[in-house]
Amino acid sequence: MRVTEADLGPRPAPPSDAPVFGRQEDTPGSQKLRHFGLQVQYRERGQLVREDVMFAAYQKMDAGAVLRMMQAGSDEMALAQATAVVLSTSLLDDDGVPSDWTPPGIDEPALEDEDDLDSRALRGEPTEVDPEGPLLYERWDGELVPYDDLDFDPFRDGSSRRRFSYIMVSTRYRVDLDALTDTAKWLVEQSAGRPTGRPTPSGRGPASTRRGFGGRQR
């Protein structure tokens, strides 16, 4: 006869004095940050543009991401994938438009009472064009704005995490693959308390990535 967890009854509660590791206090300045830049290439009106795009990352890194980086070894594809995980889990997501924020639909204005779907929609100041005032919508930062003001540029306005993800999947932007790997290694060293200063170029040639990490120089 197969025995299930339901047959065994509820699990005993852990002892109250069981140690909990990794618990952090959410106090101002408790999260130490590291700032770095990546040079991004793109074309603007037919001209090649090289722009240093800045990012902010937590000094303490996700353990699983670091383990993947260590396990990748010299496997280039595994190292590239691990690099993506290290960067995406390390980057701040509250220094701009968060990565999981989507603007509300045009039929989803802010309501006077958010718990009552039949509540009246909030409106802005009346104008000659719109005597009732424009409908207001909640932006990512909690501000109430007209619908047209919900638009944002993920490259300029996104959080560090959203900006990085956008660059990686965009066909417009190109980033040196070795630069990403060097940056991830630098962040790991910073997290481990073995800072080596600025990340140093690997000098391994003009390897590039486009639409993620799928490939070398086109």
Domain tally for the chain?
2
The answer, yes or no, to whether residue 191 has pLDDT greater than 50, is: yes
pLDDT of residue 55: 94
pLDDT above 70 coverage of the chain, percent: 80
Instruction: Answer whether residue 201 shows pLDDT above 90.
Output: no
| CA triple 50-54-167, angle to 5 deg | 65
User: Is the confidence at residue 6, as pLDDT, over 70?
Assistant: no
> In this predicted structure, what is the pLDDT of residue 28?
53
22 is a domain residue: no
Helices (H), 73-118: 76-90
End position of a domain, from candidates 116, 135, 150: 150
Q: Give the residue with greater pLDDT, 36 vs 80.
A: 36
CA distance 198 to 62: 21
**Statement to judge: residues 38 and 89 lie in one domain:** yes
Looking at residue 203, its pLDDT comes to 44
Same-domain check for residues 61 and 123 = no
Q: Does a structural domain hold residue 146?
A: yes
Q: Is residue 63 part of a domain?
A: yes
Q: Which two tokens stand for residue 1?
A: 């006869």
Confidence of residue 165 (pLDDT cuts 50, 70, 90): very high
Q: Are 54 and 36 in contact (CB under 8 A)?
A: yes
Q: Is the pLDDT of residue 115 over 60?
A: yes
Q: Within a domain: residue 1? A: no
Domain that holds residue 166: 33-100+153-209
- My answer on whether 66 and 162 are in the same domain is yes
Mean pLDDT of 192-197: 60
The model's pLDDT over 21-34, given as tens digits with 9 standing for 90+, comes to 777 666 555 578 88
Report the C-alpha gap between 169 and 175 in whole angstroms: 11
**Predicted confidence (pLDDT) at residue 207 exceeds the cutoff of 50:** no
The average pLDDT across 6-31 equals 71
User: Is 16 within a domain?
Assistant: no
pLDDT of residue 215: 32
Give domain status of residue 142, yes or no: yes
Nearest to 166 by CA among 53, 33, 36, 43: 53
Most confident of 82-86, 132-136, 174-178: 132-136
Reading the block at residue 139, the tokens are 């932006």
Is the same domain home to 158 and 96?
A: yes
Q: What is the pTM of this model?
A: 0.71
One domain, residues 52 and 95: yes
Q: Quick check: 208 pLDDT over 90?
A: no
pLDDT at 194 over 70: no
Let me know: does 162 contact 93? Beta carbons within 8 Å. Answer: yes
In this structure, are 95 and 178 located in the same domain?
A: yes
